[in-house]
């Protein structure tokens, strides 16, 4: 297990290194002396686990956890000098995405004794997170992620109306809309397009052949366990649910690149996220200017170089249909394909 250490104290870093050295299956991926460095290093080299201190110069462990989980999510264990006296910060870190918290081992005691609790906690987290790299990936259907805002409902109908009911992919939609109006939008879309539309609830899995619509004033994200959920972060984001937050949550190391679409909307939300997905190997499409109610979000994506293709909504739907193989039973396969060796 590759483990990163984030701590501004040399003594604490040495204690952590000594403990990990007693376990032959663990190696130190990298060390960071502050939160800013941790965020940068995690983006360049995502470890299997981060041991995160709380009190550091610059941004603290809570904010570093929040930023890492928003950009390059990975398991984080808070390791601090005193869990009890810093309970408020510990709870903040857990709310930001950390999985657990434990006291920093001491250099005074023998390494095996001082680190017994830490190694036991790491083993527990390893059991919890191991499925994220294989079963979650194998159980996750191909994914289409769509972001939209002003004029989005009509554009969604024009795009999604081109997709068949036997589509072999899950369709995840983040439309800027107040939570109270989301159920009505889901019902309206259900009446307009072939695919069924469902509201996303915390913990829902991705479902092949279903349009799953965000429905709270928090941001919809794909979590490291492969299930959908909602996050208040980033709090400063005025657009909810944020398309950028959704797109960035899809940068999971186990998730096979899919297809991402940015439709009409005011502002810049989704432009950077679409670029990040393109760089990660996703097929990215932005709506063209002539068909947009407001050419803001797609324009940002095009200017940043985040869109591989720029198309009107109906053409986006047809393009997605051509890129995604529909689910077919053996009885539905062409006769010549059935006879092929």
Helix (H, G, I), strand (E, B) or coil at 260: strand
Residue 257 CA to residue 284 CA, distance in Å, equals 10
Tokens of residue 279, six digits = 């760089």
DSSP symbol at 162:
T
Catalytic residue among 26, 176, 218, 259: 176
> How many CA atoms lie within 13 Å of 222's alpha carbon, on the beta-carbon side?
30
Could you tell me which residues are beta bridge partners of residue 260?
145, 284
**3-class SS of residue 139:** helix
Given a contact cutoff of 8 angstroms between Cβ atoms, the answer to whether 94 and 5 are in contact is no
Mark whether 176 is an active-site residue. Answer: yes
Catalytic residue among 148, 149, 249, 291: 149
> What H or E segment, with its residue span, contains residue 44?
helix 35-44
User: What is the C-alpha separation between 233 and 231, in angstroms, rounded?
Assistant: 5
Q: With the C-alpha atoms ordered 312, 313, 315, 316, is the resulting torsion angle positive or negative?
A: positive
Looking up tokens 């995160």 gives: 52
Distances (CA, A) of 159 to 144, 294, 297, 307: 12, 16, 17, 16
Is residue 283 part of the annotated active site? The answer reads no
Q: Is the dihedral of CA 55, 60, 65, 68 positive or negative?
A: negative
- Our answer to whether residue 149 is catalytic in this structure is yes
Per-residue tokens: 299: 């324009």
Catalytic residue among 48, 244, 269, 288: 269
76, 144, 294 from 171: Cα distances, Å? 29, 5, 23
Rounded CA Rg of the chain: 22
CB contact at 8 A, 231 and 222: no
Nearest Cα to Cα of residue 171 among 103, 245, 94, 259: 259
Residues assigned a catalytic role: 149, 176, 269
């Amino acid at each position: 297990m590759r483990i990163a250490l984030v701590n501004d104290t040399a003594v604490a870093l040495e204690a952590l290194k000594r403990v990990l050295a007693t376990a032959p299956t663990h190696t130190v991926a990298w060390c960071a002396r502050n939160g800013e460095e941790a965020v940068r290093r995690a983006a360049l080299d995502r470890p299997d686990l981060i041991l995160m201190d709380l009190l550091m110069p610059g941004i603290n462990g809570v904010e570093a956890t929040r930023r890492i989980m928003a950009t390059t999510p990975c398991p984080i264990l808070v390791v601090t000098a005193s869990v009890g006296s810093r309970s408020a910060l510990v709870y903040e870190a857990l709310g930001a995405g950390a999985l657990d918290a434990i006291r920093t081992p001491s250099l005074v005691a023998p390494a095996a004794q001082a680190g017994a609790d830490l190694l036991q906690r790491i083993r527990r987290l390893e059991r919890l997170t191991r499925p994220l790299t294989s079963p979650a990936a194998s159980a996750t259907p191909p994914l289409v992620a769509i972001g939209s805002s002003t004029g989005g409902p009509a554009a969604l109908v024009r795009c999604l109306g081109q997709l068949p009911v036997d589509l072999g992919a899950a369709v995840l939609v983040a439309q800027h809309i107040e939570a109270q109006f989301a159920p009505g939008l889901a019902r309206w879309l259900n009446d307009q397009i072939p695919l069924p539309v469902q509201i996303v609830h915390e913990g829902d899995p991705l479902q092949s052949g279903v349009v799953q619509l965000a429905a709270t004033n928090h941001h919809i994200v794909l979590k490291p366990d492969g299930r959908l959920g909602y996050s208040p972060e980033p709090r400063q984001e005025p657009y909810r649910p944020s398309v950028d937050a959704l797109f960035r949550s899809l940068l999971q190391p186990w998730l096979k690149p899919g297809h991402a679409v940015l439709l009409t909307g005011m502002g810049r939300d989704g432009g950077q996220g679409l670029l990040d997905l393109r760089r990660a190997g996703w097929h990215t499409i932005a709506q063209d200017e002539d068909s947009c109610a407001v050419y803001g979000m797609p324009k940002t994506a095009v200017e940043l170089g985040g869109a591989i293709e720029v198309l009107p909504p109906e053409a986006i739907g047809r393009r997605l249909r051509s890129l995604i193989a529909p689910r077919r039973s053996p009885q539905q396969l062409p006769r010549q394909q059935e006879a092929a060796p």
